[in-house]
Structures are given as C-alpha cells and as structure tokens.
Amino acid sequence: MRRHLPLFQWSNPSLKDHLALFTHGVVGQWTIPKKTGRDYIDQVTAEVREEREDSRGRIKVLWVQKRRDNHYLDCELMIDAAAVISGFLEVGLHKDNGQRLPGSE
C-alpha cells in the first residue's frame, strides 16, 4: 500500500516570532527548569528582533544573530514547529484578544 507523506515548510522568521510570543508570556505558557544552565539561556537568546527602515521608508523586521551559538534556539524552534504540526499548538487567532499570530497570514 502506497501512502503519501505531507510536506511541511516553515518560515524561520515567523516561527521565531511565534516562539517570542511564548517566551514573553503573550500566548501559552513557556517555562524552563530553575537549574537551567547559562549556556542554554545564552543560545536561546542569541538572536533579537529588530526593525529597520529601508531606502523607501518601509519598515522591515529582521532577526539578527548577536551570538555565534544559537543551537538551542534552533531546537526550540523545531519543538515549536512539531507542536504546531501535531495540533498541540495553534497558529492563528489569539483566543484572548483576537489578534493574528505571526505565521497565520
């Protein structure tokens, strides 16, 4: 019997926006153990979201890497993607205030 596997593609900036909503307490509940090492914290926060104006005055949002190692951030993004794909997390309207979540456009 032949079965087809679904193809999932992610937008790295949108997924980083989605994870940022969790880490800042806007949606869901993202927690880490009390004894989490400094290396983990440094890597998860290795990139920051910045707004920059282009030559035409339009605002562009970029994720800028501030520290070289960001491997744990990549792991968190993959966990986030797996949770969305499995249906554990929803990307769409925020239930509390009706705002659109990043990646749901």
Domain ranges of the chain: 12-86
Identify which of 26, 62, 22, 14 has the alpha carbon closest to the alpha carbon of residue 44. 22
Rounded alpha-carbon distances, angstroms, from residue 58 to 14, 103, 105: 19, 20, 19
Please report the pLDDT score of residue 53 as a whole number.
Answer: 95
pLDDT tens digits, residue range 67-97? 999 999 999 999 999 988 898 877 654 444 4
| Helix (H) and strand (E) counts in the chain | 3, 2
Other Cβ atoms within 10 Å of 35 Cβ, number: 5
pTM of the model: 0.78
User: For the chain, which ranges sit under pLDDT 70?
Assistant: 91-105
